[in-house]
A and B are shown apart, each in its own frame.
Chain A
Amino acid sequence: MGKHVLVIEDEPNIIEAISFILMRDGWAVHTHSNGNDAVAAVAAHDPDLVILDVMLPGRSGYDILTDLRAAPATRDLPVLMLTARGQAKDRELAERLGASRFMTKPFSNAEVLEALRDLVPS
């Protein structure tokens, strides 16, 4: 079994496409689509990497990231943030909160795979 990734995203067809791409690339994929209990989902799945959307129902990706960085167990967990807002201030905020990588929608499949391989070398 390959490395384990948790995709936290609320758009079903994006989840399906990303899951397919990652599984074909050898990743074990779990998904979660609600912001409220996303931190608990990370704790439950203990992934090697998290793909985290910014705009989620219930709670924003920034808040979730803040909590992840505050907890010792996930302080250094690689997190790839996805957002539809590509303004410089959004990128700066994500970086300040501790995002490992920031990617704006729409992205190409190759970009996602490349970012994941960079963040979690096999």
Chain B
Amino acid sequence: MPQRQLVGQRIRERRIGAGLRQAELARRAGISPSYLNLIEHNRRRIGGKLLLDIARVLGVEPTTLSEGAEAALLDVLREARAADPAAAAEAGAVQDFAGRFPGWARLLAARHRRAAELEHIVETLTDRLTHDPHLAASLHEMLSTVTAIRATAGILADNPDLEPEWRGRFHRNINEDSARLANSSEALVSYLDAAGETDAALSSPQEELEVFLDAREHHFAELEAARDPAAGAEAIAAVLAGQERLHSASARAMARAHLERYLADALTLPMRPLERAVARLGADPAVLSRELGTDMTTVMRRLAALRAAGGAGPVGLVSCDASGTLILRKPIRGFGLPRFGAACPLWPLFQALSRPLSPIRQVVRQSARDGGLFMTYAIAQPFARRDDPLSDPLYEAHMLMLPLDGPPPQGEGARAPLELGVNCRICPRENCAGRREPSILTDGF
């Protein structure tokens, strides 16, 4: 079907979609119903003022009815056809398809463009794993160190009667190599994280939000200064205006939602009394919650918004929704957070989801990192309901991480640190009850 003939078909589609009778559209466009009927059946050409009038009545842009408007769409559909010749899409039917089913055509074109974008990303990642010299060198360094540790540990395990001189030597080697391994793995994680920050093509809206928050160290002085919601709203607009790190509309919407909650928290618990309480009582959110008469999740979020000089020291925070998806990550050195995929199911964060409103206080150690100890506080609280006021609430869980210096707390009631990981892929704990998938550290990587 020639392209020029599609205009009538589009007018008919739009008219029916708008719930207009042919006679009504004809009357409002100033033509006879029979003439419109001829146009709609592609038996009369249409253009100029009449096309503009019909578009006005239908409430659409004239270009969506005109022949050239869909040229870009047709190009993408042809690309989609060329990309998958095995599907044997009919070459001569592209225009007919776009004209008859414009919504489906747009959907197909959008899916094709998305698939092309994703293929590009996969290609980039594959290429990077193969050709990135820094990544290759880092992995080689790590595997060489692991090899040395494994061979040396094997000697120590297989030779219980080893001469003291040799034993001492091999112990020193293992100690040196494990320190090297810790450094090289940390450097690799930093490299991968930094690469993610600079590669907009790989960023999800969530990652864009995290880059934005990390750049501000999760602290917004503009919002801290706001004394009421109106001033806060202006401050939020000012923070977001011209914010280059938030590329996508989705990321900007997520940042706005984050800042609105930040503002509500700041109005509930201003920074000054929090800092005074931290200086007096320490950073235990349960204690601060009781002292300040504020719920624990607000206190935890406010602690994460404290500047490093605010008296609480470094503070990490992760939040997840009821599906377990991490929706907020404020990283802290020594506690790894997964960049992709799900986190370790042993985290108290997820335990909190199974017992809402019951705070958890737990010392943890992440075996995949440098073995640092953290005091964690986790709690799940309802944050919204669906439209029905009688519906079950939706929960969010939050976990605050505070580094612990020295040995784990001792004494009555003190529990051994909970050993956990970052996620299954890079966790060496072979016999973990929470394991979802094999680790690349144990499956012959």
A interface, CB within 8 angstroms of B? 11, 13-14, 16-18, 20-21, 24, 55, 84-86, 104-110
Give the residue of A13, A55, A85, A110 whose beta carbon is less than 8 angstroms from that of B148. Answer: A13
A105 and B173 contacting across the interface, CB-CB below 8 Å = no
Residues on A with C-beta less than 8 A from B158 are 109
B147 and A106 contacting across the interface, CB-CB below 8 Å = yes
Which listed segment binds A: B25-33, B137-145, B417-425? B137-145
- The answer to whether B150 has its CB under 8 Å from any CB of chain A is yes
Most buried by B among A17, A85, A86, A109: A17
Complex CA distance for A34 and B70, rounded to whole angstroms: 64
B151 and A17 contacting across the interface, CB-CB below 8 Å = yes
Give the residue of B146, B173, B176, B445 whose beta carbon is less than 8 angstroms from that of A17. Answer: B173
A84 and B148 contacting across the interface, CB-CB below 8 Å = no
Residues on A with C-beta less than 8 A from B150 are 106-108
Number of interface residues of B (CB under 8 A): 24
Q: Report B173-209 residues with CB < 8 Å from chain A CB.
A: 173, 176-177
Given contacts A17-B148, A86-B445, A105-B147, contact A55 B155 (CB under 8 A): no
Chain B interface helix/strand/loop/mixed: helix
Residues on B with C-beta less than 8 A from A18 are 151
Most buried by B among A24, A104, A105: A105
Residues on A with C-beta less than 8 A from B170 are 17, 20
B177 and A13 contacting across the interface, CB-CB below 8 Å = yes
Residues on B with C-beta less than 8 A from A16 are 152, 169, 173
Residues on A with C-beta less than 8 A from B444 are 86, 104
Mark B146-166 against chain A: 1 for CB-CB distance below 8 A, else 0. Answer: 111111101100110000001
Complex CA distance for A106 and B152, rounded to whole angstroms: 11
A106 and B155 contacting across the interface, CB-CB below 8 Å = no
> Nearest A residue to B144 by beta-carbon distance?
A11
Residues on A with C-beta less than 8 A from B166 are 20
Q: Report B394-416 residues with CB < 8 Å from chain A CB.
A: none
Given contacts A11-B147, A20-B166, A107-B147, contact A84 B139 (CB under 8 A): yes
Complex CA distance for A21 and B145, rounded to whole angstroms: 17
Give the residue of B139, B151, B176 whose beta carbon is less than 8 angstroms from that of A14. Answer: B151
Complex CA distance for A86 and B147, rounded to whole angstroms: 13
Given contacts A14-B151, A17-B152, contact A106 B146 (CB under 8 A): yes
Complex CA distance for A14 and B143, rounded to whole angstroms: 11
Smallest Cβ distance from B426 to chain A, in angstroms?
A: 15
Complex CA distance for A13 and B147, rounded to whole angstroms: 9
